[in-house]
Amino acid sequence: MPRLTKKMGRIGRQAAALLLAAALAACSRPLPPPEATGELQVGTRNSPATYYIARNGEAAGFEHDLLEAFARSQNWKLEWTEKPNPDALFSLLKAQRIHLAAAALPQAVVKDHHLIAGPVLFETPVHVVYRTGDAAPRTVADLVGRKVALIVGSGHSPMLMRLKRKYPKLSWAALENVWPDELLDQLQAGKYDAVIVNGMDFDPMRTFYPDLAVAFDLPDVQKIVWALPTRSSLVLRNALARFIEQANRDGTIRRTYERYFGHVKRLDNSDILGIMQLRPERLPTLRRYFQEAQTLTGIDWRLLAAIGYQESKWDRFATSPTGVRGLMMLTAETADRMGITDRLNARQSIVGGARYLALLKDALPERISEPDRTWLALAAYNQGQGHLEDARRIAQARGGNPDSWADVKQALPYLGRGSYARVMKYGYARGAEALIFAENIRNYYDILLRLEPDYNPLLNLGAGEDDALPPG
């Protein structure tokens, strides 16, 4: 009996070993191609340029949106795998555990890893970023003697090696297995004097780092691509090439880029620091009014607060030379239309401004989706619905999409040109001002989304308010 037990134990161990070996073999097998399974497996990293979870709980990001469009064009399901560092992403590719990687990857870096580089999505400048409290380096020569850092495998080392021929004393630290936000954190903490980072990575995060700025750009640019395993499916590679070619031709890439990056360079560092400094001083007493306005209109209170900051720096006594007054800078005509009796009353101004923006959004054709609907309504808030419609007509006449903010923003400045103003229904307008207005608000909104919590009206029912708004 003991001998039988021992034998059975040995058989059990052998069976377990066989099962483990089978499991490991299954894990080591490459993924079948997406055309065989109808499922595209993508590796990524968390960043505004690539993939993140938006405030509505849904995935978003420049590369995310493009790949969603690509997957739809092929009738494939899309599955995402996030990785915390570059090496983990490249390991998945080399083991063929994913079909492609989308992580703002430079073409040169993909080729250095002996992977296949997909079609070029766009080109990004290479920034030299520094702390604004320090003396700004103006040229590569100014980096000599300073502590400079870059990321191993970013493609920036070869650029600096070429520059080192002219500046032999140029040196830098090469950090392994980090993403750009970690590099920027170390610069902000004072560990380095300057860092080398792609514009696609730094520009969307400028509002996160108001103490950092671009000193200058290196002479080279980098081409951003998706990376595929060396034995990737020809069907997939050809489908990607056709999709990117079509997306360039029909404006899909340009419009997607505009959605995430079109506004990010509008503010300078003083603008970013300005709202961050005034926020703890002025916003606390106004927050409940913005939140009440959200309850009444459904418009995110932080967007309304961004409008209030752009209009008046949250000053309820603000008055312009043209007679526009109050925290939301409403005209007398708009105030009357919204039932406001005192434009200098903060609550009345905020609620009135919110109702006016909601009215402008409702006046747009139902086919216009978000976020374009909101950005177009912001331009109308500044210039009026009639002038916005003129700009939409100009956009269409110039071959653009009148329902796309990316196209209408290019048309807005033409409202101030005599040759256009003469033939437009509503005549001359300072369209460029409406463009700046909307883009500034987009940036301020980004800042407040990061710093201020969401508001759920259902959790705040019955909150009392003083300073009541008059009927109507």
Residue positions annotated with a catalytic role: 311
135: alpha, beta or left? (left if phi > 0; alpha if psi -120 to 50): beta
- The residue type at 19: L
Residue 194: DSSP 8-state: E
Nearest CA among 441, 438, 420 for reference residue 429: 420
Q: What is the 3-state secondary structure (H, E, C) of 313-336?
A: CCCCCCECCCCCECCCCECHHHHH
Task: Quickly tell me which residue has 């961050």 as its tokens.
Answer: 276
Q: How far apart are CA 418 and CA 332, in angstroms?
A: 28
User: Positive or negative CA dihedral for 263, 264, 268, 270?
Assistant: positive
Q: Which residues, including other chains, have CB under 8 Å from residue 454's CB and lie 6 or more apart?
A: 55
Q: What is the DSSP string of 32-85?
A: PPHHHHSEEEEEE-BBTTTBEE-TTSSEE-HHHHHHHHHHHHHT-EEEEEE-SS
Q: Which residues, including other chains, have CB under 8 Å from residue 27's CB and lie 6 or more apart?
A: none
Count of CB atoms situated within 10 Å of the CB of 145: 11
- The residue type at 194: A
Question: Per residue in 267-278, is it b (16+ CB within 10 Å) or e — as a string?
Answer: bebebbebbeee
Q: How far apart are CA 455 and CA 290, in angstroms?
A: 10
Q: Quick one: CA torsion of 453, 455, 461, 465, rounded to 10 degrees?
A: 80
Q: How far apart are CA 4 and CA 265, in angstroms?
A: 77
Helix (H) or strand (E) holding 123: strand 122-131
371 upstream amide cis, omega within 30 of 0: yes
SS3 (DSSP) at 20: helix
Q: How far apart are CA 100 and CA 89, in angstroms?
A: 9
Q: How far apart are CA 462 and CA 85, in angstroms?
A: 47
What's the burial of 171, exposed, middle or buried (CB within 10 Å: 0-12/13-18/19+)?
A: middle
Both tokens of 115, joined, read: 């992977």
